Amino acid sequence: MAKVRSEVTRLAILQAAAQVFKISGFESTTMDAIRDQAQVSKATLYGYFPSKEELFVESLLYEAEAEFDRNLLFNPREIPELKSHLVALAQNMIRFAYSPNGLAIRRLLIASAKNPELGQRCYEHGPQKGKAEMRALLQQAINEGQLKPHDPTISECHLRALIEAEFVDILHFGLNLPLTEEWIQAASQRAISSFLTLYAS
C-alpha cells in the first residue's frame, strides 16, 4: 500500500510540475510553486526530486510518454505502407524534439554535462526506449522484405540523423525559425525518401 501511495504522490508532483513549467517556463519556475500546485510539503517534494533540473527532465519525460502514440512507432502487425509509417514517425519526432519543451530539455542536458547521472536517466527513460522500438520496426521491415538485409542498429542512427538534419541548427545555435507544419511535412518526406534510397529493397 505504501508503494502505491508513493507512486501516486510522485505522479501528482510530475503532473503539477508539467503544468507550472508550461505556464512559467523553466527559468521562472520555482520549486515552491510546484510544491503549492502539487499540494505537498517541501520535504516531500525534495524527497522525490532533489533539484528543479531533475524534476524538469522527469516531468517532460512523463508528459511525452503519456502523449506519444506508441503504435505510431511500432506496431507488431504487418506494416503495409512502410514509407507512410516512417513519414508519420518522422513528423511526430520533429514536433516533440523541436517543441519549446523538447528543445528546453535537450539544451538543459547539454548544459548539465557535468551531471552524467541526469543525462543517463533521461536517456534510459526516453531515447533508449525509442531507439529500441525503432530498431524493432526496421528489423520487422527487413524480415518482410521491405528493406535490404542490414544491421538496424546502424540504419536507426542514419534514420534519426536524416529526420533531424534540417532542424538541428535550431537546437545548437538557438535559431528562431518558425516550425511550421508545412516544413515538418516536407522535411519528413525528404528524410524518409533519402533513407529509403539507401535501404529499400
Residues 6+ apart with CB under 8 A from 70: 133
Homologous superfamily of domain range 68-199: Tetracycline Repressor, domain 2 (1.10.357.10)
Phi, psi of 200 (to 5 degrees): -65, 145
| Integer Cα distance of 124 and 110 in angstroms | 16
Name the residue ranges covered by the structural domains of the chain.
Answer: 1-52, 68-199
- Report the mean per-residue pLDDT for the chain: 85
C-alpha cell belonging to residue 58: 522527469
90-115 pLDDT, tens digit each: 998 899 889 877 787 788 777 766 66
Q: Any idea which fold 1-52 has?
A: Arc Repressor Mutant, subunit A (1.10.10)
37-60 pLDDT, tens digit each: 999 999 999 999 999 988 987 887
- Is 0.85 topped by the overall pTM? no
